[in-house]
Amino acid sequence: MYGIAGRLANYFIDSKLTPILVIVSLALGLFAIVTTPKEEEPQIVVPMIDIMISYPGATPEEIEKRVVFPLEKKLWELKDIEYIYSASMEGQAIVTARFYVGTDPVKALVDLNTKMMSALDLAPPGVILPPLVKPKSIDDVPILTLTLWGKNYDWYSLRRVAATLENEIKKVSNVADVFIVGGRPREMRVILDPQRLEAYRISPLYVAQVLKSANAQMLSGDLLRADKVFLLRTGNFLQSKEDVENIILGIFNGRPLYLKDVATVEYGPSEIKDYVLIGFGPSAEEKGIKDVKPGELYPAVTLAISKRKGTNAVDVANEVLKLVDHLKGKVIPSDLNVTVTRNYGETAKEKADELLEHLFIATFSVILLIAVALGVREAVVVGIAVPVTLAIALFLSEMYGFTLNRVTLFALIFAIGILVDDAIVVVENIHRWFELKLAKTPREAIVRATDEVGNPTILATFTVIAALMPMAFVSGLMGPYMRPIPINASVAMFFSLLVAFIITPWASYMLLSKEFDKKHHQEINIKETLFWKLYARLMVPLLTSKKKRYAFYAFTLGLMGLSVMLLVTKVVVVKMLPYDNKSELQIVMDMPEGTPKEKTLEVAKAIADYIARQNIVTDYEIYVGTSSPFNFNGLVRHYYLRQAPHMADIQVNLVDKHHRKEQSHDFAKRIRPVVHQIAQKYGVKYVAVVEVPPGPPVLSPIVAEVYGPDLKVQEQVARQILKIFKDSPSITDEGIYLEDPHPMITLVAKEDKLKQAGISKEELVLTMRALIGGYQAGIIQNTDTEHVPIVIRLDEKYRNPDILKTLKIPTKDGRLVPLSELVDIQETPAPTTIYHKNLRRVIYVIGDVAGREEAPFYGILDVRDKVLSIPNPYGKIGELWMSLPLLEDRVYVKWDGEMHITLEVFRDLGIAFAVALFVMYVLILGWFKDFRIPGIIMAPIPLTLVGIIPGHLILNSFFTATSMIGFIALAGIIVRNSILLVDFAEERIKDGVPPHLAVVEAGVIRTRPILLTAIAVVVGAFVILFDPIFNGLAISLIFGTIGSTTLTLVLIPVLYYASKVKKLTVLPSPEEVQRDILK
């Protein structure tokens, strides 16, 4: 009577359905490769919603107390919110709600809006309602950026071309958002002349009101005449410079006073609010850019394009670039350059193609291995089974909603080494049955051979799945990064089992049947083989001497202990994930608050000049006063809010990784000291070389969050921590979320003087806004693609503190009163921003890691004691790692950033490993019905460390999260090998063979399939060994498999024998054991 495997093999071995299943499976896999959206990174669903609140005139403390804190408390009632961040500033605040990973974005937005709208009645008078709500997700990240520049173009002309191009790109299918960074948009500027206003006794506020009321037009109803209805439209919009100039402000001395009499009207570029420039490095020709000098800068404007959710980044990017090529010489002038400064579609395609190539190489390598070990026909059988399994896995991956990205493809490459195991075990056993002629017909031999290994193969496969699947439940941002690995690999393993019992017997019957008749049966005495003699000489001393067994156990434990010590002594460094070899990085710079944008530009140019001399740089873009188009890292860090004159970004693009020897991370480490030297020379407050993170983005690799009962004490402690960071050789790119003291001029109204002048406080505020800040009095109604605002303000030369005192304000009775009589002009420190995290006041101190030990853990250990020893009025500083303080009764420092994710991931992986061990134990216990056997079978699991940790040392690699994944996966693989050995020995003992002979037979006969499966794992993993991120996984699989397999072939038979002889009433003598095995 056959088991499950035998029955499946017996039914499908000559069924007409089997070839149809093969063809359909392959077709589904091909369909999945073609249709699955290609992206570089996995899709992470983590809804983030920004709430922008405006409360004009309020101080940060007032906004925090009256607006932000009540709103935070209301939002905290939502169960799906994980974090609430806020920043309270002068006159405004931003509250960011970050939901748990996997929360439905639409539900999150609806729930937040509902909760917020229900609390609007709590807002104090003066708050502009409703607040602006802006949801953000990974799909908002631009996949393509196009930078427009030309030798004969300024920011104004570039902006006009970009605005037209923006409208055209928006029409491309599956384009979501297009936005412009930089340039000078067209503006109707009404530049007031203070002397003329004084001469005519006109207030700026009056000009603004007249201008606003003159720009009016509306349908007023309809008129009926005879049998026709006429629409009635009244008024007219302002459409030109002349329309604005000729607005009549009033009648003076019997003649009209026009706007042009008291102001200069300019219709053209707006004032410079920011700077965007492009420069080129020595490798500019790699992008096809010629006739440019390294270091020479050109005005530029950047267009950023994002795609719709779930669409193919490759297709969207290609369609946009086709359109741009088509518009050259039409919308885009022929002498205007369009440089692609980001193309995630291209990098996604390159990565997908590269990994698919690696997938084919790994598959071919495994098939070649089988050809060498068993024969060409057997290799073809495996060559049918593996692509069918991969095809099914790819199709189901698309059905789950996974995109074709580096993680999903790495999961399949990783799986090749283990999914081929089932086919190898079945084919190897069929090969053995054919060699020994253990059946009368090839059909019977194939079915019985499949059935013989069926039960242990089923158990072994499910133990591997049990090892992998718990990893699918890793929480936090790292979950979506890791989830495709256990899910895709587990699915592949399950279907590899079905393929091994359905497709492999059919293919064997088709290809190997003729070999059955050709093979001449010869009695083979296994004891006469060379391998038996070698293996027996190794095993006999261990089976006959208890002392030698214990010595072997001690030796094995010693090796494991020495391996672990490599981690403890930091010879092998633990890190979350190493950096990938990217073609971009970013330099983020903050000057002291209050620095004008021209000074910031000067410093940015000095840094950029150094970058321009680096051989592997193709181009770089400088953004001053505005942010560069954000990536996923910038989305999480809110870089898109960097819109101040003292802030700058430099986006650096490198030669393609295939055309340079230097890794991007090595380049970043090389330039960082020089960038810091330049920054220090110019008095830069904060500068950081920001690389694209290999995993989930965080605020910074090292973050110290300072909590406490008193904001002043928090500030003092935070500044002390910053100093400790700066003094530490392990930390670089230090910064603090605290503004440096910078001046603020406050006009404090004199109530009595205002009353005497007949001017209200509101009129004074609006007048100063119109004079200094600019007052938008509507828009021009024309055919421009962008809105053209009408802006009233003083000329820039009048906007300084000294002239401010001399300004005169007309009263209602026509008198002119100097501003200095109406207000006290006070110069005070500007208020600082107040930050919250989960309703608690917090100050962030950030940094990056430096030196050989590039993991935040070691940087934190270096400064930890000094940080916790900072004196403060509230006693000893409390330390937190995973949670926030329950009570703010003293100062607390919570280590966050990459450290938090590292602890979270290794904690979850540890739990997953414990669950995996328990499930494997239960499965093995249920099968063998003996409490000791699961312990024996699982004993070699720790032995994988004997290979894994020294392997990282040999290749000088970090022990990373992917290394841990490899360790957990190896638990299943090693248990599989142990099951094959123990199951065979059990069967032989049932046949009456003594235990000492049964274990040696098991070791000899099962060595070939075990070695084949082990080599298959090594070969499959080898192709990902040189990937910067996943090489930890490859090292674990390669070295762990080699080390543990070598030890397992000896340890399992010895442990199993030791457990069996305890049950024997009469123990065999050493001589008897030696005679049975060696003779």
C-alpha 225: how far from chain center = 67
Write down the residue that tokens 């992998």 correspond to: 468
At residue 812, the pLDDT reads 76
Range list for CATH 3.30.2090.10 in the chain: 203-261+743-829
Strand 702-707 to 840-849 pairing? antiparallel
pLDDT at 379: 85
- Which ranges in the chain are annotated with CATH 1.20.1640.10? 1-34+374-524, 526-571+930-1079
| Secondary-structure class of domain 1-34+374-524 per CATH | mainly alpha
CB 171 within 8 A of CB 325: no
**If you count them, how many residues does the chain have?**
1079
Instruction: Report whether the peptide linkage leading into residue 709 is cis, meaning its omega lies within 30 degrees of zero.
Output: no
Residues of the chain short of pLDDT 50, as ranges, are none
Q: Name the 3-class secondary structure at 350.
A: helix
Strands 816-818 and 823-829, sheet pairing = unpaired
- 116 neighbors 52 (Cβ within 8 angstroms): no
Q: What is the pLDDT of residue 1022?
A: 86
Q: Which helix (H) or strand (E) holds 442?
A: helix 442-468
Residue 402 to residue 408: CA distance in whole angstroms: 7
CATH topology of domain 526-571+930-1079: Multidrug efflux transporter AcrB transmembrane fold (1.20.1640)
**What letter does residue 877 receive in the DSSP assignment?**
P
- Residue 203 to residues 216, 262, 757, 815, Cα–Cα distance (Å): 22, 11, 13, 11
Amino acid at 651: Q
In this predicted structure, what is the pLDDT of residue 773?
81
- Per-residue HEC secondary structure of 211-276 comes to HHHHCEEEEEEEEEECCEEEEEEEEECCCCHHHHHCCEEEEECCEEEEHHHCEEEEEEECCCCCEE
**Confidence (pLDDT) at 201:** 86
Helix (H, G, I), strand (E, B) or coil at 919: helix
For every residue of 85-118, DSSP letters joined together read EEEEETTEEEEEEEEPTT--HHHHHHHHHHHHHT
- Of the candidate CATH numbers 3.30.70.1430, 2.130.10.10, 2.60.120.40, 2.60.300.12, the domain formed by 48-136 belongs to 3.30.70.1430
- Tally Cβ neighbours within 10 Å of residue 31: 14
pLDDT one-digit tens code per residue, 323-335: 999 999 889 999 9
Cα 82 from Cα 96, distance rounded (Å): 11
C-alpha 355/C-alpha 561 separation (Å) is 36
Give the DSSP H or E segment for 862.
Answer: helix 856-868
Distances 884 to 71, 274, 699, 860, 880 between C-alpha atoms, Å:
20, 39, 16, 18, 7
Q: Please classify residue 710 by burial: count the beta carbons closer than 10 Å to its beta carbon, then call 0-12 exposed, 13-18 middle and 19+ buried.
A: middle
Q: Domain 203-261+743-829, what architecture?
A: 2-Layer Sandwich (3.30)
Q: Which residue has the tokens 């629409």?
A: 231
In what helix (H) or strand (E) does residue 175 lie, and over which residues does it extend?
strand 175-181
How high is the pLDDT of residue 1065?
A: 61
For residue 517, what pLDDT is reported? 63
Cβ neighbours of 661 (radius 10 Å): 7
Neighbours of 129 (CB within 10 A): 10
C-beta separation of 815 from 757 below 8 A = yes
Nearest to residue 343, comparing CAs of 314, 386, 374? 314
The reported pLDDT for the residue numbered 525 is: 66
3-state secondary structure (DSSP) of residue 403 = coil
For CATH 3.30.70.1430, the residue range(s) in the chain are 48-136
Nearest to 1030 by CA among 480, 419, 409: 409
